[in-house]
Amino acid sequence: MSVFHLQRVLAAASTSTVLAGAVLAGATAPAAASTGGGCNGPVTGQACVGVVEADGGAEIVFEVRADLGVRAGSACRLRLVALDETTGVRWDSALVPCDRKQRQERILPNPTEGHVYRAELQILPNGKNLDSAESVPSPALSF
């Protein structure tokens, strides 16, 4: 891979990261017909949902961030759950350890008008029992 190609890849990745961060921090894309969204939860565990304008239309960005520290224990696991509350469809990410800083993101291209979307941070203290899971939901995003 040439240095020029590597610079283009890194620049594109940086631009995408900054754009997604701006949307999830509360900015809204001007052409997106959406209301709500944003982030919810304490600094140690947040769930966010927002809209970004992409080539050819809007995309929904679901994100969870967690920094529970070693107090969470070695068995603890967490994941992002992205939800279309209108249809009940959900997308679960892989379970990852709680005892280190984590960030997970999912992008939904071409969201459906009239649908309501939400992100959820799911924390499983013992790593597997969904009955004892703690959840932090994002605010609802109506698209």
Stretch 116-131: mean pLDDT: 91
The pTM of this model reads: 0.74
pLDDT band at 142 (very low <50, low <70, confident <90, very high): very high
Q: Summarize pLDDT for 4-55 with one digit per residue, the tens.
A: 333 333 334 433 444 445 444 444 444 457 899 999 999 999 999 999 988 8
User: 3-state SS string over the chain?
Assistant: CCHHHHHHHHHHHHHHHHHHHHHHCCCCCCCCCCEECEEECCCCEEEEEEEEEECCEEEEEEEEEECCCHHHCCCCEEEEEEEECCCCEEEECCCEECCCCEEEEEEEECCCCCCEEEEEEEEECCCCCHHHCEEEECCCEEC
Give me the pLDDT at residue 47, please. 98
Q: Summarize pLDDT for 81-117 with one digit per residue, the tens.
A: 999 999 999 999 999 999 889 999 999 999 999 999 9
| 69 vs 71 pLDDT, higher one | 69
